[in-house]
Amino acid sequence: MVTIKNKKPSHVFEVNDCAIITRMGGVGTAINLRELKERLISCSIDCLYYHFCETLIRPTFDNPEYRNDFALWSAYKLRDRVLAERLGIINPYSFDDLEGLRERVLEIIDERLSSLNYIPSVPKGDEFIFMRAATVVFDTGIVLHQPEDLFLKLPLMSRSTIYYHFMEARRRTQDRVDDFTFWIKFHPEKNQQIIEELAKIDFYFLNLNELKTVLIDTLKNIH
Amino acid sequence: MMKPKTLKDYKKIAGKIAISQLEQLSQNLKGAKVVHVNSTREGGGVAEILNWMISLMNDLGLNASWEVIEGNEKYFDVTKAFHNGMQGTPIRLTGEMIKNYEDTLNTNFKRLQPVLEEADFVFIHDPQPAAFLDMCPNRKGKWVWRCHIDSSNPSREVWKYLRSKVVNYDASIFSMPTFAQPLPHPQFVIAPSIDPLSEKNCEINKKEIKETLKKYNIPDNVPILTQVSRFDRFKDPLGVIEAFNELTKTIPAELVLAGGRATDDPEGQVVLEEVQKAAADNKHIHVLMLPSDAHRTINALQRASTIIIQKSIQEGFGLTVTEALLKEKPVIGGNVGGIKLQLHNYYTGFLVETPEGAALRIRELLHDNEKIKRMGRTAKQFVIENFLLTRHLREYLTLLVGLKCNLTNYVLTESKDFNS
């Protein structure tokens, strides 16, 4: 887990970028729904983060039907659309912490298991594989001095920069806000509107290209 | 011979941001000694990856080098048995095989000892040099075992032996999560990639493509179907011929089976003879045994083709699929290994299980030229976004930074030279 909480706002905003390197989750695979539940109880919290949040910066084919891997596995491997929909609607950023998220996922799986008179399972080769990732954060050399600079520099930012400052930030900032909002709070004069508009973005169901466009449009409308 | 590429050369295709990320990441690794070891300098995907990776790592300020195991025929027979065993073939290892393997590596180790001991990072590719770690107690760097093979269901006997050789590495890398085997150290997942500017993938003109077809007497008045791969049972060239025979009952076409011989693959000749025998009575099947440096020929053949086939029954990643997708060709591929990661039915190609399935999908595509074009465009974009060497290199650099910081989950970097 990330430990750099309680960061104080600063006058300047140093734009960072990040890269992740995916690794095995350290728990066994799950061949049926009961095993998935058992593994979810014991897996590292980083596995939950990976399968719910880091799905966005992994190489993918296109917009998947669901944003988290548990919902995708339920839909395409277990062929349980009911479970997939219930898991698919979960927004991981709406929980106080990832343990809360774990609890909710387990609750949904428990409910599903108790409503079925069989245990849904998959053939060998389609097991759920638990993964996690290590994140390396690095400096891009871009520095923002005023909130207006954000509008100017956003088009230059990579997808992973957007991910790092707008989404990943929420697991390390005190109020679980994005880094831009955290910084702009230090420049409150006439920037309250930016903070409010950023807070309105329903970001979890956007991919990073879409999020970048929404951010640029939001700031454009304010300026 | 093409001149070595620099990062700048990739800006146009990979984008400015991708290059800038590599430069920023490498700020933390300047001067780091990185040694890669494998068993062949020519032939096969690993040698191709190492060719560009060494050059670009050095361009980024790292001190990267590439060492190759030297061995006799017996040694390569053993390592081929390891290779087949890791891909699921039942193998009986004898004491003599193990002795031959370890003796060869001991001899090689004496030659490479100073380089390996001094390296900050050592990447050992595949099983061939895996036992080096035990021979190097005075190593100062981090050692990573990089397994390129589909090891999802290895022969118990082979894996038992190899596991004992790789268990003490600091980390291992697999191409797909399904390939990973339980090991006590961190196991990373990095998909391989292709070099879009290499002779095998760069743009070439129509004249050169036509000349290549003429050279090998391949008519271009009907659709050309091509499978490029070593003559190896896991690539199922006989299954491809079966699919072609089924297809040409209704649609005329030409089939090209183009392959090379890798120095570490003693079985290739046997399989080639079987393929030649199966193709002997059919003038529309062209079996080409190409030299290992025939990259432009392969490039031309792929570009001349209407559809590319890669009907493997076992596959590591399947870089020939990636190459074809970059050239805007839909691919009919076996539903195995990394091919599954690259082919999405109706988007970039089709996954098939049988020769009949391959014939069916090829026939479907040959009836719809628009579909071929649309899938080709999607395929190219997919490769640019996910499987170019810039993404691959970024993941290696990320791993190196992670290893430097003892593999903590979250690393905030500071830009400074490696040894400072």
**pLDDT for position B94:** 95
More reliable by pLDDT, B337 or B174: B174
Residue A160: its chain B contacts at CB < 8 A?
21
pLDDT per position as a tens digit, B189-239? 999 899 999 999 999 999 999 999 999 999 999 999 999 998 989 999 999
Query: Quick one: A142 exposed, middle or buried, by C-beta within 10 A (0-12, 13-18, 19+)?
Result: middle
Is the pLDDT assigned to residue B406 strictly greater than 70? Answer: yes
**pLDDT for position A3:** 36
Smallest Cβ–Cβ distance between B188 and the set A21, A135, A140 belongs to: A21
Structure tokens at A147: 């909130």
Q: What does pLDDT average to over chain B? A: 92
Domain shared by A164 and A197, yes or no: yes
Domain shared by A84 and A151, yes or no: no
**pLDDT for position A205:** 81
Q: How far is CA A74 from CA A126, A127, A156, in A?
A: 11, 11, 37
Residue where one domain finishes, among candidates A88, A108, A129: A129
Average pLDDT score over residue span A193-216: 89
Domain shared by A70 and A116, yes or no: yes
Average pLDDT score over residue span B74-87: 92
Residue B24: its chain A contacts at CB < 8 A?
17, 138-141
**pLDDT for position A120:** 95
Domain shared by A214 and A121, yes or no: no
pLDDT per position as a tens digit, A65-114? 888 999 999 999 999 999 999 999 999 998 989 999 999 999 999 999 99
**pLDDT for position B59:** 95
* In chain B, domain spans: 7-193+388-404, 206-386
Based on the structure, what is the number of domains in chain A? 2
Domain shared by A60 and A110, yes or no: yes
More reliable by pLDDT, B314 or B190: B190
Total Cβ atoms within 10 A of residue B253: 17
Domain shared by A91 and A159, yes or no: no
Superfamily name and number for B206-386: Glycogen Phosphorylase B; (3.40.50.2000)
Domain shared by A32 and A111, yes or no: yes
Interface test with A, best of B398, B399, B403, B416 (most A CBs within 10 A): B398
| ipTM of predicted assembly, 2 dp | 0.88
Contact B397 A19 (CB under 8 A): yes
In a domain? residue A198: yes
Q: What is the 3-state secondary structure (H, E, C) of chain B?
A: CCCCCCHHHHHHHHCHHHHHHHHHHHCCCCCCEEEEEECCCCCCHHHHHHHHHHHHHHHCCCEEEEEECCCCHHHHHHHHHHHHHHCCCCCCCCHHHHHHHHHHHHHHHHHHHHHHHHCCEEEEECCCCHHHHHHCCCCCCEEEEEECCCCCCCCHHHHHHHHHHHCCCCEEEECCHHHCCCCCCCEEECCCCECCCCCCCCCCCHHHHHHHHHHCCCCCCCCEEEEECCCCHHHCHHHHHHHHHHHCCCCCCEEEEEEECCCCCCCHHHHHHHHHHHHCCCCCEEEEEECCCCHHHHHHHHHHCCEEEECCCCCCCCHHHHHHHHCCCCEEEECCCCHHHHCCECCCEEEECCHHHHHHHHHHHHCCHHHHHHHHHHHHHHHHHHCEHHHHHHHHHHHHHHHHCCCCCEEECCCCCCCC
Domain shared by A32 and A102, yes or no: yes
Domain shared by A89 and A48, yes or no: yes
**pLDDT for position A191:** 82
Q: How far is CA B143 from CA A146, B35, B174, B316, B365, in A?
A: 45, 10, 14, 22, 46
**pLDDT for position B330:** 97
Residue where one domain finishes, among candidates A109, A129, A149: A129
Is the pLDDT assigned to residue B408 strictly greater than 50? Answer: yes
Domain shared by A68 and A143, yes or no: no
In a domain? residue A186: yes
Q: Considering only alpha carbons, which residue of chain B is nearest residue A58?
A: B386
In a domain? residue A74: yes
Fold of B7-193+388-404: Rossmann fold (3.40.50)
Domain shared by A125 and A157, yes or no: no
Residues 330-369 of B with CB under 8 A from A: 344, 347-348
Q: Distance (Å) from the C-alpha of residue B169 to the closest C-alpha of chain A?
A: 15
Is the pLDDT assigned to residue A22 strictly greater than 80? Answer: yes
In a domain? residue A5: no
Residues 179-238 of B with CB under 8 A from A: 180, 186-191
Q: pLDDT band at B258, cuts 50/70/90?
A: very high
- How far apart CA B386 and CA B37 sit, in angstroms, is 26
Contact B415 A19 (CB under 8 A): no
Domain shared by A160 and A80, yes or no: no
Residue where one domain finishes, among candidates A76, A106, A129: A129
More reliable by pLDDT, B266 or B73: B73
Q: What's the domain range around A111? A: 26-129
Q: Distance (Å) from the C-alpha of residue B62 to the closest C-alpha of chain A?
A: 17
Is the pLDDT assigned to residue B262 strictly greater than 80? Answer: no
